[in-house]
Amino acid sequence: MASSLSPFVYWGQSNETVSLKVDLRNVEDVNVSLTDNGLDFDAQGLGIKGVHQYGFHLDFYLPVDPEKSRYRKTDIAVEFQIQKAGSETWPRLTSERLKLPWLKIDFDKFPLDDSDIEEDMEFENGTSTQKEMLDKISVELASKTSKDGITATQAYLFFYNLFQFVGYTFIFAKLVYIYGIYGQAGMERAFEAVGSQMVLCQAVAVMEALHPLFGLVKSSVIIAMAQMMGRNIILFLLVLQEPRLQLSSVCWLLFTVWSSVEVIRYPFYLLQLIGIKVKILTWLRYTVWIPLYPLGILVEGAIVFKSITYFAETGFYSISLPNLANFAFYFPYFLMVHLLFMALGGSNNLKHMYAQRKKQLSSSKRIVKNKSS
């Protein structure tokens, strides 16, 4: 479980247990191996260096009981409650006297007796003076302020997601409104009503393919690129260039499905950035795709199918012979091939979302002793 970055880890103890708090937010893909003598931890999350893979290894001062130990994920940390094999106070956490820059003392989890705290400070820092202890507290507070501060990346992602949320909320509300007022006629006016806003939001959404590429978020570049290109081909190459598609009720259905997904996805990301987890929103994020994604694939497929006939009639994008380059291109053939890729890509996307749903909505895990260690 090697990782180049270590998160801040705060530790405390009682006579019976050791507590650890791993300072990572929005944690995913947690891997934990607890043995009698040590702990290996590896996870993806938002830490002191932004969203990265973090990990650490600890060799304990004395043996522990893995079977009676537990851990849990919260919105702002991963917390461990580790049962000691014997009932006694440890002078330090690690088997050797090591100064690990990422390992901190959780003063709230130590006995309130001043002598106990000073004794621990003596082992951890080589001094037990009141001045050194106050200096230690100052450093802890300073590092906490730094960690909880908003970085430029977080600020950018917050305003990006806020912009998209407002944009898609307007689109969704306007689509529902015109359908409620005008019925079928309103569906045929969908592009007229929200076309410019949809073009803007989808143009800005190109950034979502760049976010994982530059490490701003921890997600698949390939999946982000495929989703962005799939929508943009439909909107910019087809709908935007063919008035008959714009006047079709299928355009209303397409925009409604897209915006229905986004009015849930973007607030979910917004709250993740500020460390807030709303259970109903998490459930919606990983559940509404079940009807909406297949419906979206069918609607997009219908638009491509219609476009084959329309672009065959107009010859738009097609290149015929003879020409100086001696090159021919028939756009409807491209659309036929694109339909096949849509079927394959849609299937993979559904599998990806199903795996994400299982992971995100699964119950909290119990630490299992690694018998191979």
CA dist., res. 368 & res. 353, Å (int): 27
Active site residue 269: no
- Cα-Cα-Cα-Cα dihedral of 67, 73, 78, 83, to 10°? -20
* Rama region for 56: left / alpha / beta (φ>0; ψ in -120 to 50; rest): beta
300 membership: H or E segment, kind and range: helix 289-314
Q: Which of 245, 235, 236 is nearest to 309 (CA)?
A: 245
Give dist(CA 59, CA 222) in Å, integer.
39
The residues, any chain, with a CB within 8 Å of residue 89's CB and separated by 6 or more, are 13, 15, 111, 116
Q: Position 162: which residue type? A: L
CA proximity to 89, closest of 12, 23, 184: 12
Q: Respond yes or no: is residue 79 known to be catalytic.
A: no
- Set 140, 293, 317, 330: catalytic member: 293
- From the candidates 300, 313, 333, 354, give the one annotated as an active-site residue: 300
| Cα 286 to Cα 223, 265, 266, 291, distances in angstroms | 16, 9, 13, 11
Residues marked active site are found at 293, 300
